[in-house]
Chains A and B, each alone.
Chain A
Amino acid sequence: MSAFDITTALDDSAVKRLEAAIAPDWRSRALRWAYGLGFTAVMIYAAYVSEVLSPKIFIGLPKLGDALWLMLQPSGFNYLPEFLWALCETIAMAFLGTLLGAIVALFLAIFCARTTFPLAAFRFGFRRFADGMRTFDHLIWALVFVRAIGLGPLAGILAIALVDAGTLAKLYSEAIDNSDPKPVEGVRASGGSWLDGLRIGLLPQVLPNILSSTLYMWESNTRSATILGIVGAGGIGYQLADRLRVYEFGQASLMIIMIIAAVYLIDMLSGWLRRMLIGRTSR
């Protein structure tokens, strides 16, 4: 029943007729119920499988309270220089990773776009290659690289670059596919080479889009890079995971505050760069 008090304005029979007229028929009502019940059943099952419906949750809640209480009191300020350096490492990893990824993506995108690479079969292959790179999370690649080339930020940089190359190749190639082919044809028609066509005909069209995606990935990578240290790939994540594993919640909380501040700063910087480079045509 709706909560509107229309009964004062209409008599009982009129209300009944009105409700009968706008009520859904039994079929759509049954369907709605079936959907609702099915959805609820699936959710209960999912909750059961992921142990949300288990006594563990009641046993753990007081401990969670303890942890949160400790996290409200940031501590370990004497480690601040160490933490700051690790944070700088994280930011540097995200920056270099995005840069490397963008460079690779720029070449890959040319082979993934319809307008610049006409061989459909190869293009399909290049696209799946890019898909393969970005399907797995940074952390999986970081773990692989840590195993292959050792602990340290280099593994993290490579992991970010790899995922970025895949993601940005997709975004860049979409930008290229959405561009107008006429300027390129014009350059070719007046005697320009294939490269001239890309440089003079295509690049000015897609550059704002490319810069915007890259800046977006930079922001996103700064967030991702904060945890790569959990598997040993450099940055503040290493210290953070380390402190959390020995239940030093106060120090962890200090690092989390620093991470949040750094992410804010990078977002602001990226926004400023976006306005500087692209003007108001940003996303």
Chain B
Amino acid sequence: MAVMNSGITILIQPETRAEALAVFDKTSQAHAQSNFRKTSLGIIAFAAAVALAAHVSQFDLMRLITGLPRIGDFLSGMVPRLTADNLWADLVYWYWGLDKWLYLLWTTLMMALFGAVAGTTLGAIFSLFAARNLGAPRWSVFFVKRMLEIARTVPDLVFALVFLFAFGLGPLAGVLAISLHTLGAQGKLFAEVNENVDMRPLEGVRACGGSWLDEMTVGLLPQVLPNYISYTFWRFEINVRSATIIGFVGAGGIGMELYEAISLSYFDDAGAILLLVFITVMLIDIASEALRTKISNVRAVT
């Protein structure tokens, strides 16, 4: 009898107990050997990949070790000198630019919000033509899907640099970049949501004589809206983070101040701005997650 088990063939029919044991031993040994071979092959491949990566990126442990104290200095430089008996004055001194920073932070949030809503709305429209089941022709599904993939693979900072050329410094370039990236990410996500809907409501609408638009608004939208809204909130959380750094290239928001503070070694300012950003992001995450779980129970991937 031939027992096929993960490539190991046994050609003996076990008759006695001893024979059965011998077969068992042989099989388990063969298994152990093939496992060992696979594992060692995996380890060698992995080690080679690590070595290659370390070589390509000029990874230098000594430089890392000598650099660590400087990183420590840098981070501890961001902690302000606050004294107990003069706390208020110290805080006021530390946050000397509070008005300006809060305004920029507010701009950042508005950029994130506009980008989330505009990108999601457009993404929802595009997703109709990227889903296989909603009557879009095959070439449209392929073409729109590729476009969406490009929009979400190209980093928003790269878009921002292109838009800066066209629109000059300021939030406009940033918000367009964020919207475009959001459009790509949401469009792809929504196309998948659309492909998983129940088709019967849509067929019902069509059977009643509804147009394609009726199918979408009456048959599809009620099914997917909770999902869409939940993903919009999630996207808003992500966009707050991207809007914070989009200013690194001059595309508006708090990022420009942060970039200056860090690259010119204004440790106090950098620490103050980072703390503001940290608190804002935390509060937004908590509020958005509460709303998100209230509307639907979609759990997003971090």
Contacts and interface: CB of A to CB of B under 8 A. Distances in A.
A185 to B, nearest CB: 28
B291 interface: no
Given A49-B171, A50-B174, A137-B242, A96 B53 contact: yes
Interface residues of B, number: 70
Interface in B165-190: 165-168, 170-172, 174-176
A230 B252 CA distance: 16
A154 B248 contact: no
Interface in B37-96: 49-50, 52-54, 56-60, 63-64, 67, 70-71, 73-75
Interface residues of A, number: 76
B48 to A, nearest CB: 12
Interface stretch (B1-9, B15-23, B105-113, B137-145): B105-113
Contacts, number: 195
A144 B262 contact: yes
B57 A154 contact: yes
B194 interface: no
B282 interface: yes
Given A63-B166, A143-B262, A157-B57, A43 B117 contact: yes
A3 interface: yes
Interface of B: 49-50, 52-54, 56-60, 63-64, 67, 70-71, 73-75, 106-107, 110-111, 113-114, 117, 149-150, 153-155, 157-158, 161-163, 165-168, 170-172, 174-176, 208-211, 214, 218, 241-242, 244-245, 248-249, 252, 258-259, 262-263, 265, 274, 277-278, 281-282, 301-302
By Cβ-Cβ distance, the 9 closest A-B pairs, closest first, are A149-B67, A64-B166, A60-B167, A92-B53, A50-B175, A244-B161, A153-B57, A60-B166, A92-B56
28 contacts: A3-B210, A3-B214, A49-B111, A52-B114, A56-B170, A60-B168, A71-B162, A89-B56, A91-B56, A92-B52, A95-B49, A96-B54, A134-B302, A135-B278, A143-B248, A144-B71, A148-B71, A152-B58, A154-B57, A156-B57, A230-B157, A231-B259, A234-B57, A240-B158, A241-B249, A252-B158, A260-B149, A283-B301
